[in-house]
Amino acid sequence: MLRSAKRVVMSLLFLVSVGYGRPNAVPINFQHLQNLTERILLAGDSVDIVHIYSNYPSYQWTAAAESGEEGIACVDDAARAALLYIRYFDLTGDTSALNHVRGLIAFVQHMETTDGMFYNFIHADHSINADGRTSYKSFGWWGVRGMWCLSAAYRVFRNRDSVLAASLRIGIVRTFPHIDSLLKSYNTFKAVKGYRVPQWLLYGSGSDVTSALILGLSEYYQATHDRNVGTYIRKFAQGLITMQDGNLKTAPYGLHRSWETMWHMWGNDQTAALAVAGKLLRDRRMISSGELEAQGFFSRLLIEGFRKEIDISSDTSVKEFDQIAYGIRPMVSGLLRLYDATRNSNYRVMAGLAASWLFGDNAAHAAMYDSATGICFDGIRDSATINKNSGAESTIEALWTLVDLGFYPQTRPYLHFSKLHVRKTPEHEFATFGDSAGDEVSVILDLRRGTFSVLEGEESKLFRMRNR
């Protein structure tokens, strides 16, 4: 890759195998992410940016231009990278990760306005793109992700760097009037194609982006126990629960709609948000809502195959592709947060199976993540076509998945499992996954009873033999 003269020299934080020396270690390689990262001067301050696109085969930096000329780097990816490094620090205690966090949050802070909104992109000359379709001043996707990373950083730095923590807290609190504005519509609804839609979520019904907001608020609440923030979390969680439909036997099987009647796999952190908030606030209803999605819907994604998008108001509106790492990570995170909240090991197993998408258990039967370079391909376009570009989003989301799994050594073997059998009978729908050593696990839905189970080893083999 061509390197700018301003290219930042990164600390040694690459090719770390969590559980190094043990079988099935999780290979976490930050090399490509560091190649995408550049230290620049922004308004006289030294900050780190993450270049948004990097194209095969050279993987040189490429500017974004999907919605007109957007720019070279954005809050969306810098905030995501900061959250990744914070999670890595939480896992390893490696303080060099916090050096990366400092540079990235400095960029995010510069992109926040004094009224608590955020711009998203900077141009090649490092000026802010103030009016682009994906960069105008707002408290939407990039604003929420910015607040989330500032909140997580505040949790980490509040007892390490009081000056930085104070500036982070100012930036977080500046967003609260926008939250108050949303909640003026609390407990009001509209009907869309016969479905009940809460009006106090971002973008009118965006449970996807609101789940990121809940995760950010939960980070801040964990650090402060601010009662008003706890109220924010409860009210937004209620909106997410309202966006849930079906049960283990009835379509759409407990999924949380992303917006109005649409569900999409990318960015859907509702289960993670509800599990985290439910554990934090000791609210069993939130956790149960996450469990319903995991048992009823995530199980079917594992059994039947991943989907890109579903309009639940239409029996025929289902899209399988593109499939991307940004779809896998929220599912893995949701399952792991449910394990944290319930200690039900089934969710831990499912998380490992979902993450095996990165290593070849996918529609293209190809590895999407390369542990030798840290590259994660940008997606699967169809069963025969892989997008071999590797931009910031895919890179960060893949690494985030692997860092998250690093907390749970028991998940490592499942990363190398592949789907072996899928079967549906009047009584059951199930899939069996296994590896080259003959180990196996089955994810099972009992269609008559409306129950869910995961069987491993001999129990899986016996069940599969009985239901041939």
Q: Both tokens of residue 292?
A: 């319903």
- Give pLDDT, residue 17: 56
* Residue 335 neighbours by CB under 8 Å, 6+ apart: 271, 294, 298, 347, 348, 350, 351, 354
Count the Cβ atoms, other than its own, within 10 Å of residue 451.
Answer: 12
- Give pLDDT, residue 66: 67
Fold classification of 16-417 (topology level): Glycosyltransferase (1.50.10)
SS (H, E, C) 188-210: CEEEECCEEEECCCHHHCCHHHH
24/30 Cα distance (integer angstroms):
18
DSSP 8-state class, residue 8: -
- Give pLDDT, residue 69: 78
Residue-wise pLDDT for 136-182, tens only, equals 999 999 999 999 999 999 999 999 999 999 999 999 999 999 999 99
Contact (Cβ atoms closer than 8 angstroms) between residue 406 and residue 414:
no
Residue 40, H or E segment: strand 37-42
Mean pLDDT of 380-409: 97
- Give pLDDT, residue 3: 41
Work out the angle at residue 263's Cα, subtended by the Cα atoms of residues 257 and 266, and round it to the nearest 5 degrees: 115
- Give pLDDT, residue 27: 80
Q: How far is CA 284 from the centre of its chain?
A: 23
Residue-wise pLDDT for 118-127, tens only, equals 999 999 999 9
Domain positions in the chain: 16-417, 418-468
Residue-wise pLDDT for 33-87, tens only, equals 999 999 999 999 999 999 999 999 999 998 877 656 799 999 999 999 999 999 9
333/330 Cα distance (integer angstroms):
5
Backbone angles phi, psi at 422, to 5 degrees: -130, 135
pTM: predicted TM-score of the whole model, two decimal places:
0.95
